[in-house]
Amino acid sequence: MRPPPHILVVNGIKVRQPVFVLAAPHSGSDLLARALKRSPGFHVTIGRAPVAHVVYAFARRPSIAGRGMGATRVLRDALAESWQIVPGACGECPAACREAGGVTGAGPCAAPGAVARFGDASPDLIYSAQVLLQAFPDARFVQLIRDGRDVVADMLADPAALAWFKPAMLSEEAEFPNPFLGVNAAEHRDRWKAMPTAGKCALRWRSAVRLSAALHRDLPRGQLLTLRYEELASSPARAAEELSAFLQARVSKVALYGGRAPKTGAWRSRLHGEDAALVEKVARTELARLGYR
């Protein structure tokens, strides 16, 4: 039985139908966050410390997220803190959030009187989707899917993404199954540690898209929209129209165009032959299911 709705008020504004962007790493959440953040009436945060700490705690230890209303309150409180619109607030934001909002000073990046919708596009928010739904039963979720081979190519060039693959990440205290790293059982720990980095990246992507598929079954109809990264890159105007219709709010086409999405299919020139073969071996089923040939 779903708990009774909790009305969250931030800066005197009732939080209704907040928008959460879900995606595997390097799958376009930054492009979508930029468009939402620069659209009239939206206040969208990205990677603020209060939220990031909770999201990664849930991602690395799923059992914490399953602890009923306690986990729900923790995440809701973290978002409430992150959404506060106060002088100097943007000074505490990570660079990605500041860039998406075009902020050059300490902020804030939004004015309370102009905000009608809140949202968050923090990295790896997908691992907290069920808790978010409990915290905000009327939430709207937008998930992005991208060719796993392009994802791996970008991850291999990103030191922040690679930092998660240190052997200590799967210590004796690690929980299994481990959706965050894509490892299903403790007996696979040593195999994961010996795997080339491209394979570890592919496991992360594979696990994230499996969670995305599960959300189609679990989330209420009308509360989830799935977009392809390739659509954002090739037809941003159409993607903005679809997103606007789903959210019943105008989403900036100009901001989506301005995201400068990398060319799709770049993995062909960026991934070495052995890495490409390993990614296709690890994620063959998901690549085929999603139509990436």
Write the pLDDT tens digit of every residue in 210-260: 999 999 888 888 999 999 999 888 888 899 999 999 999 999 887 776 656
Is pLDDT of 1 > 70? Answer: no
Average pLDDT, the chain: 91
Cα separation of 63 and 71, whole Å? 10
CB atoms closer than 10 angstroms to residue 221: 6
Q: Does residue 41 come out as left (phi exceeding 0), alpha (psi in the -120 to 50 range) or beta?
A: left
- Reply yes or no on whether the pLDDT at 113 is more than 90: no
- Pairing of the two strands 19-23 and 117-120: parallel
Rg (CA), the chain: 19
22-57 pLDDT per residue, tens: 999 999 999 899 999 989 999 999 999 999 999 999
Q: Going from the N-terminus, what domains does the chain have, and what CATH number goes with each? A: 1-146+222-262 (3.40.50), 147-220+263-293 (no CATH)
Report pLDDT for 181: 96
- Is 106 a residue whose pLDDT tops 50? yes
Q: How far is CA 159 from CA 121, 162, 205, 206, 237, in A?
A: 20, 5, 17, 20, 32
Q: Is the dihedral of CA 173, 21, 210, 259 positive or negative?
A: negative
Q: How many CB atoms lie within 10 A of CB 239?
A: 25
Residue 232 parent element (H or E): helix 229-234
Secondary-structure percent of the chain, ordered helix, strand, coil, rounded to 5: 55, 10, 35
Task: Specify the pTM.
Answer: 0.94
The token duo for 208 is 């994230």
